[in-house]
A and B are shown apart, each in its own frame.
Chain A
């Protein structure tokens, strides 16, 4: 993966387990966001990007010319570092994805929106103000709305890029609880800056360093008996 001439991801070989939470950790600028965006081809929005290699989803390369980015992104949802609701109502934010993919029936949309908001633990807080602007929600609520929006498309994989980075501790706890619940149904890849968070919520952990995958394995093993010197130094806080 290159940005212009800059080689950002090198030789990453990883098999992400289905229906598990995989945490990506590593110092700032090591390519975590870039890696995540290459899993749903969002990386292609950046000018001058070049991607080599393949990303297999159910055995099919998502960069295959047979697949459009739209199809890929329907199956691989994403939640961003900063909550980014669309300039629409709460309801419309959640209904937007399903509408894009051809669902028009009002009743069906209502049902999807309700289910997604419930799954995101937001329904009780917003059920009386579904048609208010999404910008009126608190930042923590906005982030859960973004998760609901991703769920509403019924993806197989959800990518999360430091979803708690701009949240307060209470909202963070809510989002973490939510991730633990979603784990049953979705394959989740989450980038996090907080090692504690990785320990709390993930089943597997991958450690990235300067664009390389240094170590990958069950979270317990990575944190208790890492094989690499670098991993050990990172998780013991010797560099950040």
Chain B
């Protein structure tokens, strides 16, 4: 076979999968665009009892707000401890690291099952917003700790030396030299965590939401519905759902997740350009 010919074949061989992938994306976008006609102020702001999706939007918001408030302090403190305080390569750190990795790899439905058994039943929180927060925390925590750890480890040792050499204590060094420089990275991991939580379904199916249609929770002990869960309900429980509504919900969900990821990317790019070290 002539080498030029062989090269052409290889060219095609690499091109075809690219086209398939691109084609699938385009098709998905085409389907999603079905939902565009659905999106209107009325759709977004009226209750599910009137064909809108106000409760699922607010529910998604409540869910990730609470989860972030619980996860952020725990995740950031744990990461600071692991990177700045714990003796490097200690056995304890290795075990914790391994545990975090394992937690990150657990399928969300299994986390949901655990959340249901532990938070809803054993702790008696029932199927509720707060049980949802705690379960989602289990999902977001590994992302948060990993991301923050990474952001802290990216800070060159010379930053710490700079503060230390002026007589700063350990904590002053972390506060003034390390954290400000790591902040963009930490923020990015929070936003990526939020994107993950906002798109999560399996973890809240058993823990935070119920199939009956209901309004917004009045206390954290009441169930809540989210965009993901509402989509699930539309497809499996309500006969003759118009696909247009389902795609409308999907589009809003996609928009929210995309927004958070995009903000995270912009922050990262901005700081990368501003601080070169």
Contact = CB atoms under 8 A, between A and B. Distances in A.
A120 interface: no
Contacts of A87: 159, 177, 180-181, 275
A38 interface: no
Interface string A36-65: 000010100101000000000000000000
A125 interface: no
Assign chain A's interface to a size class. Answer: 20 to 34
Given A74-B167, A100-B168, A149-B166, A42 B161 contact: yes
B276 interface: yes
Contacts of B172: 100
B165 A40 contact: yes
A96 B176 contact: yes
Interface string B227-251: 0000000000000000000000000
Contact of A86 (B88, B157, B176, B274): B176
A135 B274 contact: yes
B164 interface: yes
Contact of A135 (B156, B160, B176, B275): B275
A236 interface: no
B158 A82 contact: yes
Interface string B147-165: 0000000001111111111
A6 to B, nearest CB: 17
Given A73-B165, A153-B167, 13 more contacts: A71-B167, A73-B167, A77-B165, A78-B161, A80-B162, A82-B158, A84-B162, A96-B166, A97-B167, A100-B167, A135-B277, A149-B162, A153-B166
In the A-B complex, the 4 residue pairs with the smallest Cβ-Cβ separation, listed nearest first, are A84-B158, A97-B166, A78-B165, A74-B167
